[in-house]
């Protein structure tokens, strides 16, 4: 009984593309975004009482709006850096940075026109203009690094691996869950914060004058 051998055609192997490291400008922008997001989160966890005023309990709507806005800001800052490092583009990074500059300009102009020329930070009185210029360094740095030619070439030529399509609802739920978790942490810190000293005289004081 004879056996038949069937020769199968050989499939050529596709060469695997070497992993390309992001440029230094892209890595620097990503690190700056992570540092800013952590700084914003730390600011929200430690300085909410100073923002609203010592001994004051603002309305619940104001607290919720402030916490949700801060949580969204943290997520957008981190997402802008992540999309640039991933090679998906720098539109989100540019939009967030420009928005930060606009908010800083509005606050600086509004404070100066309202007669606020100095603010207190960490027990030190600092000029409002100095605070605005210092705060503008971060978004300006993100814009300068994220829009360099090397960053543009990275977002234009980066080959991202093909992934299985996912329903967009999952991404929306993940983003909403992230915002709610951050807002819940900030709310817990704001509610359980230490009360401000009342400054009332001690009750056991005895008048020595008779």
The pLDDT tens digits for 52-110 are 555 556 677 777 787 888 889 999 999 999 999 988 889 999 999 999 999 989 988 88
Question: Which tops the pLDDT comparison, 36 or 186?
Answer: 36
User: Does the pLDDT value for residue 200 go beyond 60?
Assistant: no
For 120, phi then psi, to 5°, come to -105, 125
Q: Is residue 31 part of a domain?
A: yes
Please report which confidence band the pLDDT of residue 26 belongs to, taking 50, 70 and 90 as the band edges: very high
- Number of domains composing the chain: 1
Q: Which residues contact residue 34 at a Cβ distance below 8 angstroms, ignoring those fewer than 6 apart?
A: 78, 81
pLDDT at 18: 54
For the segment 34-38, the average pLDDT, to the nearest whole number, is 92
Quote the CA–CA distance of 156 and 152 in Å, as a whole number: 6
Quote the CA–CA distance of 84 and 144 in Å, as a whole number: 13
Q: Comparing C-alpha atoms, which of 61, 64, 53, 57 is closest to residue 182?
A: 64
Q: Rounded mean pLDDT of the chain?
A: 75
User: Does the pLDDT value for residue 210 go beyond 90?
Assistant: no
Q: Is residue 9 part of a domain?
A: no
Please report which confidence band the pLDDT of residue 43 belongs to, taking 50, 70 and 90 as the band edges: confident
Q: Please give the helix or strand (H or E) that residue 179 lies within, else none.
A: helix 168-191
Q: Comparing C-alpha atoms, which of 22, 21, 30, 23 is closest to residue 141?
A: 30
For the segment 146-174, the average pLDDT, to the nearest whole number, is 70
pLDDT at 70: 86
Question: Which tops the pLDDT comparison, 135 or 52?
Answer: 135
Share of the chain above pLDDT 70, in %: 61
| Cut 0.75: pTM above it | no
Question: Which tops the pLDDT comparison, 19 or 65?
Answer: 65
Q: Is residue 6 part of a domain?
A: no
Lowest-pLDDT range of 30-34, 59-63, 123-127, 204-208 = 204-208
pLDDT at 208: 44
For 162, phi then psi, to 5°, come to -75, 125
Q: Is residue 205 part of a domain?
A: no
Q: Is residue 167 part of a domain?
A: no
pLDDT at 59: 73
Q: Is residue 2 part of a domain?
A: no
Q: Could you list the residue range(s) of the whole structural domain that residue 53 is in?
A: 24-156+178-189
Q: Is residue 29 part of a domain?
A: yes
Quote the CA–CA distance of 23 and 32 in Å, as a whole number: 14
Q: Is residue 83 part of a domain?
A: yes
């Amino acid at each position: 009984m004879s056996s038949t051998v069937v020769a199968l055609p050989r499939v050529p192997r596709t060469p695997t593309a070497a992993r390309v490291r992001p440029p230094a400008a892209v890595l620097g922008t990503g690190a700056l975004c992570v540092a800013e997001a952590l700084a914003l989160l730390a600011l929200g966890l430690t300085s909410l009482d100073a923002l609203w005023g010592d001994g004051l309990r603002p309305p619940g709507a104001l607290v919720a709006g402030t916490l949700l806005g801060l949580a969204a800001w943290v997520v957008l800052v981190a997402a802008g850096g992540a999309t640039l490092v991933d090679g998906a583009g720098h539109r989100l990074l540019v939009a967030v940075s420009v928005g930060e500059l606009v908010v800083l300009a509005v606050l600086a102009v509004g404070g100066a026109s309202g007669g606020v020329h100095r603010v207190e930070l960490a027990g030190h009185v600092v000029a409002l203009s100095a605070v605005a210029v210092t705060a503008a360094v971060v978004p300006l740095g993100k814009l300068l690094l994220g829009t360099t030619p090397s960053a543009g070439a990275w977002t234009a030529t980066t080959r991202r691996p093909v992934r299985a399509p996912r329903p967009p609802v999952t991404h929306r739920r993940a983003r909403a869950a992230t915002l709610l978790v951050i807002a819940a942490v900030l709310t817990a810190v704001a509610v359980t914060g230490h009360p401000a000293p009342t400054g009332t005289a001690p009750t056991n004081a005895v008048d020595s004058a008779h």
